[in-house]
């Protein structure tokens, strides 16, 4: 669960690459999470705007 919140924090800070990594790890750890579809949508949105320089 911590990776979900970490991903949200990174997203808020504009650190999209790190947000994606944290959210993907959350989905690996909790593949049947009730919010998995929502998290995948957030990851897809972040991938569309993740600048290579932001880490």
Beta carbons within 8 Å of 39's beta carbon, 6+ residues apart? 4, 7, 23, 26, 27, 33
pLDDT tens-place string over residues 9-18 = 999 999 999 9
**Above 90 in pLDDT, residue 54?**
no
pLDDT score, position 49: 73
26 in Cβ contact with 33 (< 8 Å):
yes
Q: In sequence order, what E strands does the chain have?
A: none
Kindly state the percentage of the chain with pLDDT values over 70.
89
Identify the helix (H) or strand (E) that includes residue 4.
Answer: helix 2-13
- Taking the model in full, what pTM does it have? 0.84
- What average pLDDT is seen over the chain? 91
């Amino acid at each position: 669960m911590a990776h979900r919140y970490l991903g949200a924090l990174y997203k808020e800070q504009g650190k999209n690459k790190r947000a994606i990594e944290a959210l993907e790890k959350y989905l690996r750890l909790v593949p049947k999470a009730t919010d998995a579809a929502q998290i995948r949508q957030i990851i897809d949105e972040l991938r569309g705007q993740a600048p290579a320089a932001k880490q």
